[in-house]
Amino acid sequence: MNIRVLGLALLVVAGSSSAWANDVLNPKGPDEDGTKPALARIAGAGMMDSRAFEYLTELSDQVGARVTGTPQSQQAIDWSLAKMKAIGLQSVHDEKWTMWKGWTRGSASAEMISPQHRALGIDSMGWTGSTPAGGVEADVVTANLFDLDEEIRHAAKFKNKIILMFPEGAPKKSYWLIFAQYGDFLNAAHKAGAVAVIGGQGGFKAEGMHLTHTGIVGFAADFAIPVVDMAREDQSQLERYLAAGKPVRLRINVQNSFSGPVESANVVGEIVGHESPEQVVVVGAHLDSWDLSEGTTDNGVGAVSVLAAADAIIKSGIKPRRTIRFVLFTGEEQGLLGSLAYVKQHQGEMKNHLGNLVLDAGQGPIKEFQLGGRSDLVAAFEPFADSLSNIREIKVNEKIEFGTDTGPFILAGLPGINLDQDSPDYKYTHHSAADSLEEVKPDVLAQDATILAMSAFWLADRPERFAAPWPAEKTAKMLREKDQYDMLKSFNLWPFGDLGADGKGGPSN
C-alpha cells in the first residue's frame, strides 16, 4: 500500500464503509479476487496459440490501406465481420455512421525550378484540395507557424505563392492551440489566393530519412487549398536558400477529389457475460488507416490485437461475469468519428458501460495503463498490473489520451484506458510509406494482444464492478483541472458548456 492510498484509507475509515471504500482500502488483484485461473488460461491461449500475426498479415497484405469512406475501407469492414464470426463472437454486426465528406488521394509531385532543378519528395495531406490540373509554377515564401495571428492578418502577401511553414522564435501557445489555428491560417491563405502549403504534421517538418507523413489537418476538417508534407531533407534545403535570400521557385501538381457525405461503420462483436450481461467493457482500436503504405502499425496492430484478444478469451472456454464488447472503429484518423458515433448511438446504455481499453500507439510493447483522468481507479487497477509482472512491467497512471478512441469515452465520464506502448520507431512509421508489416515483431504483437485480452477479462470478471460513469459536472471539472479545456474547445469537442468552471463543479473526490 503506498502513502497516497494510506491517506485515503484513514479518511474513509472515519467516514463510510461502502463497497467503493472497501475496494480502495483493500484493492484485490487476480490473486485474491478469483480471476487468476481464467487469466492463466487466456495467457496460455494468447501466447502459445496466437492468431495475431496471421491476422496482421492478412489485414496488411490482403486488405491493405483503408482510408475511411473508400472501397478499401469497406473491404476492411467486411474482413473484420467475417473474422469476428470465425472467432466465434456473438451478435457480430456493423454500426453505420456517416462522415461529413469523402476524400480520395490522386497524385502529388513537386520539382524545384530554381535555384536548382530537381524532384522533391511530397505527399498530400488528407482532406485537402488540388492545384489546377497540370500543376502550377510559383515562388515560395515562408509563414511563421509560431505567429499565425500575424500571418492571418497579412494573408494578402500569399497571393499566387507557395507557402512554406516555418516555426520561428518561441511558440506563444500550446501545440494543440497552434494546430487548431493552423486550420484558420489555411483558410485565410486559400482566400488570399495562395497556390499550396508545404506543412504537413500540423505545420512541422517530417520525421525520418526522406519520409513524408500524411494525415488530417484538424478534427473533421477539410481544406480547399492543397497542403503537402515534404521530405525533411528537401524542405531543409529550401529553407536554407530562403534564409540566404535566394528566390526559390517550384512546380507543384496535387490532384485529389472530394465527394459528398459517405457512410462508414464500426464493427462490433461480443462475449456476453453470464452474470450481468447488461454491463459492458469495450475493447477497441481503429480499423481505418492512411494510405501511403499498408497501415500496419497505425493501427493494424491495435485492430488485430482486439481480434486476437477475443480469440484467446474464447479459446480459454471461460465466460466473464459481464459482457466484453469488441469494437473496431472507423474514422479515427479524421477525428475520432467512429468512437464518437459509438458513444452517441449507445447513449442510453452508457450508464452500464465500465470503460474502454484502446491500443493505438504503434508496434512496441505495452508500457502504461493510462486511466483517462480517473484517478479514483488507479489503486484498484494496480494489483492487476502487478499480477502481469512475469510478462511485462506495466505502470498505471491517470493520464488522459485524446489522440485516439479513448477520448469519447472520457467525455462520457468513463475510464477511457489507453494502453500506451514503447514504440520508438513509430514516429517514422506513423502515417508514412514505412507503415508496413516489416516493422512488427510477432512476439511483441502476441504479447500486446494477450495483455489486452487479460485486461478486458479481468475488468469484466472481477466480482466488484470496476467503474461507473461520472456525472458531467465532475468530468468537466476534472478535464479543466487537467488543462484539456482549451484543446477540446478549439476542436469543438467540449460538450459541457460552462460546467466545471469555478463553483460549478461536483465534489472533487
352 to 411, contacts with Zn ion by CB under 5 A?
360
Alpha-carbon gap, residue 230 to 212, rounded angstroms: 6
| Binding track, positions 243-282, relative to Zn ion; x by CB under 5 A | ----------------------------------------
Q: Least distance (Å) from Zn ion to the CB of residue 286?
A: 6
Smaller CB distance to Zn ion: residue 279 or 421?
Answer: 421
Residue-wise burial string across 51-71, b where 16 or more C-beta atoms lie within 10 A, e elsewhere: bbbebbbebbeebbbbbbbbe
| Pairing of β 366-370 and β 395-397 | parallel
Give me the sign of the Cα torsion angle 402, 228, 300, 258.
Answer: positive
Smaller CB distance to Zn ion: residue 291 or 382?
Answer: 291
| Binding track, positions 173-212, relative to Zn ion; x by CB under 5 A | ----------------------------------------
Q: Least distance (Å) from Zn ion to the CB of residue 374?
A: 22
What cell was used for 318?
A: 471461460
Q: How many CB atoms lie within 10 A of CB 14?
A: 7
Smaller CB distance to Zn ion: residue 329 or 381?
Answer: 329
Q: Least distance (Å) from Zn ion to the CB of residue 404?
A: 6
277 to 316, contacts with Zn ion by CB under 5 A?
298-299
Smaller CB distance to Zn ion: residue 212 or 418?
Answer: 418
Q: Least distance (Å) from Zn ion to the CB of residue 281?
A: 21
Alpha-carbon gap, residue 496 to 481, rounded angstroms: 14
Q: Is the peptide bond before 383 cis (omega within 30 degrees of 0)?
A: no
Alpha-carbon gap, residue 375 to 40, rounded angstroms: 28
Q: Least distance (Å) from Zn ion to the CB of residue 361?
A: 8
> How many residues touch Zn ion (CB under 5 A)?
3
CB 76 within 8 A of CB 60: no
Smaller CB distance to Zn ion: residue 299 or 406?
Answer: 299
Q: Least distance (Å) from Zn ion to the CB of residue 233?
A: 26
126 to 145, contacts with Zn ion by CB under 5 A?
none
Smaller CB distance to Zn ion: residue 360 or 420?
Answer: 360
Q: Least distance (Å) from Zn ion to the CB of residue 299?
A: 4
Residue-wise burial string across 297-315, b where 16 or more C-beta atoms lie within 10 A, e elsewhere: bbbbbbbbbbbbbbbbbbb
Alpha-carbon gap, residue 332 to 264, rounded angstroms: 11
Contact positions vs Zn ion (CB under 5 A)? 298-299, 360
